[in-house]
């Protein structure tokens, strides 16, 4: 009767014949479909070489001893391979009990300070989506029949923290390349980024999208935020009819930040301190080395004391994308000081050739302090009558009979 060997997978009762294991490096179980790798081929022991000598009957004891050693080695080797197969199955399989499709409970990266535990064990790594979306960390898929994807991109910005607008532009760029047939977003690209739900204790921004690529039509949203000069983008893509809000919320709840990085030291030559020319008692410290002093502040506004400009780091040769900071010294009038400053800046817009300009305050952004001083900080959207839109951050510090105004726009 032929010797038979049991399948090493737990719960499988299939038995292999010796012939099935002879001369092969791996074997697939026809019952449980597990693939078992054999470290060496199991072969029949070769017959002992024939050499001249006395009749073989004189060596009966030696031959029996040799046969026992050969068969023991063959059987022992197979049992060792079976043991290796069991260990490989335990180490490699998670969830389905197969070796070829392990399950991934989550992702970790100590260098980028994050850990993400996915809400279920049904998510599988998807290198193809990672490549198509051009994300640095991972992309995973849930269910081939009703495919849903989650992906994470992280960028190290070294010595600075990117703005929400910069991160918004980067997310739209990657998605527009992915959805090269059709790509729509809410809010549109020219609107300020929307605030998103807190993730790992960090404030976020977001937008929703839907689009079509040559392969499929998907909808979803992206949430982005910063931590320790790292930018994080979490993408969620689903079929148009799928209701995935609860799943998306569970994914966001599973994201954690795992530490902080040492703050980079800024060399003294890179630090610049700006003080007023005519107005005393204030100082501005630039720790990035990106702000440049304008030699003629009065060309920007008759009441300007100091003007700084920083070019967009992603478009350093495009002045229209630069950020300007103007320090104004205004005489304090009666009434609401915010409305006084708004009237002054609206007149500035009109002098610059935008007679139909309007200024609208962005709700929920007002604060009652400026640095260490009592004052008012507001965010404005400036519409130049359809010519262009500007986002302005305005700080107003009362100083006796004057108002020190820091007006920054981009």
Distance CA 162, CA 68 (A): 73
Q: Are 328 and 405 in contact (CB under 8 A)?
A: yes
Helix intervals (H) in 230-327:
245-253
What are the CA-CA distances from residue 136 to residues 164, 232, 233 (Å)?
Answer: 19, 10, 10
How many CB atoms neighbour CB 143 within 10 A?
Answer: 11
* Residue 105 confidence class, pLDDT cut points 50, 70, 90: low
Ranking 2-6, 135-139, 388-392 by mean pLDDT, the lowest is 2-6
The mean pLDDT of 160-167, rounded to a whole number, is: 90
How many CB atoms neighbour CB 242 within 10 A?
Answer: 16
DSSP 68-115: HHHHHHHHHHHHHHHHHHHHHHHHH--SS--SSS----EEEETTTTEE
| Local structure of residue 343 (DSSP, 8 states) | H
* Residue 116 confidence class, pLDDT cut points 50, 70, 90: very high
| Local structure of residue 267 (DSSP, 8 states) | P
Taking the CA of residue 240 as centre, how many other CA atoms within 13 Å lie in the half-sphere pointing to its CB? 6
The mean pLDDT of 270-292, rounded to a whole number, is: 82
* Residue 319 confidence class, pLDDT cut points 50, 70, 90: confident
How many CB atoms neighbour CB 213 within 10 A?
Answer: 15
Residue 120's Cβ-count burial label (10 Å; 0-12, 13-18, 19+) is: exposed
**How high is the pLDDT of residue 144?**
79
* Residue 288 confidence class, pLDDT cut points 50, 70, 90: confident
Q: Are 205 and 195 in contact (CB under 8 A)?
A: yes
Residue 145's Cβ-count burial label (10 Å; 0-12, 13-18, 19+) is: exposed
Question: Residues 6 or more apart from 89 whose CB is under 8 A from it?
Answer: 8, 9, 10, 34, 97, 99
The mean pLDDT of 38-50, rounded to a whole number, is: 48
The structure tokens listed for 225 are 């935020």
Distance CA 1, CA 14 (A): 17
**Direct distance between the N- and C-terminal alpha carbons of the chain, in angstroms, rounded to an integer:** 86
How many CB atoms neighbour CB 13 within 10 A?
Answer: 9
Helix intervals (H) in 141-292:
164-178, 245-253
**How high is the pLDDT of residue 314?**
65
Distance CA 13, CA 392 (A): 73
* Residue 228 confidence class, pLDDT cut points 50, 70, 90: very high
State what percent of residues in the chain have pLDDT above 90: 33
Distance CA 150, CA 70 (A): 55
What are the CA-CA distances from residue 204 to residues 54, 61, 111, 166 (Å)?
Answer: 90, 82, 21, 13
Question: Is it the case that residue 87 has pLDDT exceeding 60?
Answer: no
Question: Is it the case that residue 236 has pLDDT exceeding 80?
Answer: yes
User: Which one has a higher pLDDT value, 280 or 388?
Assistant: 280
**How high is the pLDDT of residue 142?**
92
The mean pLDDT of 106-127, rounded to a whole number, is: 93
């Amino acid at each position: 009767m032929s010797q038979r060997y049991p399948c090493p997978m737990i719960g499988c009762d299939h038995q292999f014949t010796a012939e099935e294991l002879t001369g092969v490096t791996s074997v697939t179980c026809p019952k449980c479909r597990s693939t078992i790798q054999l470290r060496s081929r199991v072969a029949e022991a070769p017959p002992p070489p024939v050499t001249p000598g006395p009749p073989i009957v004189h060596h009966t004891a030696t031959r029996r001893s040799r046969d026992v050693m050969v068969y023991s080695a063959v059987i022992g080797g197979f049992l060792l391979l079976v043991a290796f197969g069991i260990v490989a199955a335990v180490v490699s399989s998670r969830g389905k009990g197969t070796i070829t499709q392990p399950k991934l409970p989550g992702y970790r990266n100590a260098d980028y300070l994050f850990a993400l535990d996915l809400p279920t064990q049904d998510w599988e790594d998807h290198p193809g989506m990672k490549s198509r979306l051009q994300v640095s960390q991972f992309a995973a898929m849930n269910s081939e029949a009703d495919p849903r994807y989650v992906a994470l991109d992280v960028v190290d910005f070294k010595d600075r923290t990117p703005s929400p607008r910069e991160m918004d532009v980067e997310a739209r760029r990657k998605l527009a390349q992915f959805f090269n047939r059709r790509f729509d977003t809410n809010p549109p690209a020219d609107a300020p980024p929307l605030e998103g739900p807190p993730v790992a204790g960090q404030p976020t921004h977001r937008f929703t999208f839907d689009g079509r690529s040559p392969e499929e039509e998907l909808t979803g949203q992206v949430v982005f935020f910063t931590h320790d000069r790292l930018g994080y983008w979490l993408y969620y893509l689903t079929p148009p009819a799928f209701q995935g809000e609860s799943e998306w919320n569970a994914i966001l709840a599973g994201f954690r930040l795992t530490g902080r990085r040492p703050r980079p030291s800024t060399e003294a030559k890179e630090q610049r301190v700006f003080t007023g020319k005519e107005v005393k008692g204030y100082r501005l410290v630039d720790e990035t080395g990106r702000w440049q002093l304008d030699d003629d502040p009065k060309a920007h506004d008759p009441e300007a004391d100091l003007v700084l400009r920083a070019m967009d780091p992603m478009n350093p040769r495009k002045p229209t994308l630069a950020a300007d900071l103007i320090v104004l010294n205004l005489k304090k009038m009666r009434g609401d000081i915010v409305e006084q400053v708004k009237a002054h800046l609206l007149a500035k817009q009109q002098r610059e050739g935008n007679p139909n300009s309007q200024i609208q305050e962005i709700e929920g952004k007002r604060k009652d302090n400026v640095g260490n001083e009592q004052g008012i900080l507001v965010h404005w959207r400036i519409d130049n009558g359809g010519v262009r839109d500007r986002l302005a951050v305005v700080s107003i510090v009362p100083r006796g009979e004057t108002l020190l105004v820091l007006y920054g726009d981009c």
